[in-house]
Structure 1
Amino acid sequence: MKIGLLQCDDVAQPLIGRHGNYPDMIQALLRAVDPELQFQVFACHQGRMPDRATDVDGWITTGSKCGANDDADWIGRLSDFIRALWQTRQPLVGICFGHQLIAKALGGRVARSPLGWGLGAYPTTLDQQEPWMTPWRSQTLQLLASHQDQVVELPPQGRVLARSGFCPIYMMQIGNTCLGIQGHPEFSRAYLEDLLSTRRDRIAPERLLAARHSLRGPTDDLLVGRWILNFIRQGQRRPTAAP
């Protein structure tokens, strides 16, 4: 299976040598599940958009320091591409910013959380079990997170799959071919710890302390990596037609 990675940001230069770039993180996560995967990276944040005829089996949109409500030209072009994927029923998974951009591009709404930064590993509750959620462990899911914006209104055909008191639309599915996840299954604890250090001038000390403390607990990154691949494979079996 070949996956197109829609890259929306770069890891900060002081951290990239130790942790790699965002596409590297996603490839490492998913290859831990399936070593035979192939990837093609498109640096959308630098204006390099894919051709709609690109021969891949599914798409993943990365996180970004930008917001889905920003008016950058590349964000508008990527939104157009997301709508094209939706119309042709091609599988698409969005992570953090990608999750938010899918929601907005397809008619939902994104806004800044009134509770401030969502940081560290916080538990969410799964509302339902979908066929691609195998293996199934429990109704609680925990991933690393770093965000201020979040989806506050679903697009048409959207439904909530996971929620928390902090983020009511933590995971969503739109139709059968779009999946959005607010958390970061691709992040390592070491990377998030270093990322928090670079943002200590923008985040309240008590919030940073709580986030660092939360990093001691387990996360479900490999489980969600498997779910992502299951979702894309399920989407491949759907007919290619406008919804």
Structure 2
Amino acid sequence: MKIGILQTGHAPDELRPTIGDINNLFERLLDGQGFTFETFAVVDGDFPDGPDTCDGWLITGSKHGAYDDLPWIAPLESLIHDVYRIGRPLVGICFGHQIIAQALGGKVEQFKGGWAVGRQTYDWQGEQIFLNAWHRDQVVQRPADATPVASNAFCENAALVYGDRIFTVQAHPEFDSTFIDGLIKARAGTVPPALIETAKDNLTKDVDNTHLATQIGAFFKGVKS
């Protein structure tokens, strides 16, 4: 099964030589589940020929906002509509979660409550899940056909499903402690110091990336959970 990675951002320059770019994080996350991958750097204007180019699609995170006036945002929203129309499975992570919600009638904005950085706890349909996050924007109004499956006190719409067609997550199952540590060093200046210190303290604690990787893989393969 071929998964098209719609890359909407790049890893910080300081991290790429050792960790790779954003698409590489997802290739490693989903490794061993029988997928092949093709990356389209939509952030740089590289788009697939159409929604049927791949068997499934994944939209990555980004430093940009879904509401930003950028030349690739509208074409990406159009592609989201096309993928949804033909029924190919679509996964969105962080920015991907947000741009899909925006494209399908939801609302995304800078959250008045501030940032979520590092290891977070989510109520995932009654199960406690730990994932790394790095965001200030949130889906503050979900589309009519989106159902929440995860939340916490800070982020009401932490994960959404749209029937059996779309699965989106605000947090970053592709971010391990090494990547979070790198982000702390590269981008800490925009985040309140107290949140950075808490994120540092949590670097050695476990997260449920493997659990989410299994869920994403099952979603692409059409296995109901």
> What are the within-5 Å matches in structure 2 for residues 53-64 of structure 1?
54-64=52-62
Deviation at 1:200, TM superposition (A): 2.4
Q: Which runs of 5+ in 1 are unaligned?
A: 129-138, 238-243
TM-score w.r.t. the length of structure 1 is: 0.89
Match of 1:21 in 2: 21
**Structure 2 vs 1, CA of residues 68 and 227 (structure 1 numbering), >3 Å: closer, same or farther?**
same
Match of 1:30 in 2: 30
Give the alignment partner of residue 205 of structure 1, picking from 174, 193, 214.
193
Distance 2:184 2:65 in 1: 18
Deviation at 1:12, TM superposition (A): 1.5
Alpha-carbon contact 2:131-2:171 (below 8 Å) kept: yes
Indicate the RMSD between aligned Cα atoms, in angstroms. 1.5
Deviation at 1:58, TM superposition (A): 0.6
Deviation at 1:140, TM superposition (A): 0.8
Distance 1:96 1:103 in 2: 11
Q: Secondary structure at the match of 1:14?
A: coil
Alpha-carbon contact 1:103-1:151 (below 8 Å) kept: yes
> What are the within-5 Å matches in structure 2 for residues 179-190 of structure 1?
179-190=167-178
Give the alignment partner of residue 223 of structure 1, picking from 178, 198, 211.
211
Aligned AA for 1:204?
P
Distance 1:108 1:120 in 2: 26
Alpha-carbon contact 1:156-1:174 (below 8 Å) kept: no
TM-score w.r.t. the length of structure 2 is: 0.95
Identity %: 34
Alpha-carbon contact 2:115-2:136 (below 8 Å) kept: yes
Q: Secondary structure at the match of 1:82?
A: helix
Give the alignment partner of residue 149 of structure 1, picking from 112, 134, 137.
137
* Number of residue equivalences: 224
1:158 aligns with 2:158: no
Write the deviation string for residues 19-47 of structure 1: whole angstroms up to 9, x where unpaired. Answer: 1001101001100x42x321011010011
Deviation at 1:54, TM superposition (A): 4.2
Distance 1:153 1:204 in 2: 25
Deviation at 1:198, TM superposition (A): 1.5
Deviation at 1:53, TM superposition (A): 5.3
Write the deviation string for residues 47-81 of structure 1: whole angstroms up to 9, x where unpaired. Answer: 11111154421100000000011111101110110
> What are the within-5 Å matches in structure 2 for residues 1-243 of structure 1?
1-31=1-31, 33-34=32-33, 36-52=34-50, 54-127=52-125, 139-234=127-222
Match of 1:131 in 2: none
Q: Secondary structure at the match of 2:217?
A: helix
Distance 2:157 2:203 in 1: 22
Alpha-carbon contact 2:12-2:186 (below 8 Å) kept: no
Alpha-carbon contact 2:51-2:83 (below 8 Å) kept: no
Q: Which runs of 5+ in 2 are unaligned?
A: none
Alpha-carbon contact 2:40-2:48 (below 8 Å) kept: yes
